[in-house]
Structure 1
Amino acid sequence: MKTNIYHITHTPATDSVSLRFWGCNMACLGCLCKEGIYDHLLKDDDQKYFANAPNAPERLLDLDQVLDRLDELNPRRIYLTGEEATLDPNYAAITKAFHEQFNSENVLYTNGFKMPSMDDTDSVEVGIKAITEELHQWYTGRSAEPVKNNFIRYARSGVRLTAASILIPGLVEIAEIERIAQFIAGIDRNIPYYVLPYFPAGENKWRKTKPEEVAEAVERVSRYLTNVSGCQGVKKEILHEVERVV
């Protein structure tokens, strides 16, 4: 069975693996994939190895290949991440196989534009790019309405749900982050929300987010939500050890 998976990384410290899926249904202007298609949390030595890698995968893996590789690691947690995992037509079969073979916690990272079967997904983090329709349309090429509707469906599905947004100076600023938080609070103010910094990608004018800007955003949106945190963008906080790479 073919999958859209092209890259696997392992983090021994947390007994977890991350699977990167090829293909996306948005065209975000500041997408980090513009800087490279492999895991951006790789150690420096591994990043150098992939520095001259192609801008598209050389191959996609069969499910049996993925299972064989993970069988060596027997992960406790499996992250299904992107580009966009929900586009894999065999998503339901993939997550079911992970539950059956590893009894793993299956964690989906998604832009929320599409909602796959949740039967074998335990946790979902929806990356909400913006909530203002015109801004979302301009930045992603897609309407925000399906994202909002699916976020409500995720909240009602019974999975553990979190949300995250990238604070982009000059584009998705603190006021927009507040609007996103208000939308989330209207569903459930206890949904955890993460404010993330922007790292410049592609030919864009936006600069990297400053730690104090993330801190201010966290303080502001904490008026609406009970569980808010932010990544300051410090290198040692975002890198993890990678043992194996496919």
Structure 2
Amino acid sequence: MAINQTIFIEKSVGKNGINQELDVNTIKKQLNAQMPSSHRKLIISGICDSDTIDTIIDFQKTVLGFHRPDGRIDPNGKTLRALNDSASQVKWANSPVHVNEQWSGDSSKWPQTKKLQSLNPAFRIKVQNVLDALAQRGFQPKIFFGWRSVAVQQELFAKGRTKVRFSFHNAQKPDGTPNAYAADIIDKRWGWNQEAKDNGFWSALGEAAKKQGLVWGGDWTSFKDVAHIQGRQNSELANTKKESGL
């Protein structure tokens, strides 16, 4: 679908919307055409899932400046008009990053699009390929942690859930913008429960990650971390911390 093509919907799409299949696909295609390259493309399935709602909210916040986005697109509404404006693509892609505001809060609860944005660009592409490969095999992959703060890392260390006080999850640019080289990926149906192993999710994750040249925590012998993938070797951790200005 061309970016400057005007679209129409019969009923509302998004959170608490009517979500007719044709309308949902129309909106997804237009969002895919408008979204920045760092965002994960929406699957054209006719279903308004959480990723779709998260993307609508991101568009409303970034392009329209909504302080309380409702995550819904109505026929002839302001969000739909903005989606039909080709200038929105540039505004979305070039929106200013307010580090302290944009990257605050519990990063495990960020939308999937934001978690992807928190990753190092080269690593992000490989993570997206991993997610796509798992989805093609019938799994429902979800990033649980992309970037996370050093403060959260210290909490996890104190609880014995990690062996390091600084991890590739904590990597950032000198200005504090997240630039993580690690991601924890789960199947949204099972999390870390036994079903994930029984249904072959962890092994599939490891296989997909290694095809992208990534490190899989499930291969570690001293501290297995089956949900964890990273784009750098452990020997590079100290240098990554230095690059992060930490």
Larger radius of gyration: 2
Which has the larger share of strand?
A: 1
TM-score by length of 1: 0.30
Which has the larger share of helix?
A: 2
Higher relative contact order at CA 8 Å, sep ≥6: structure 1 or structure 2? 1
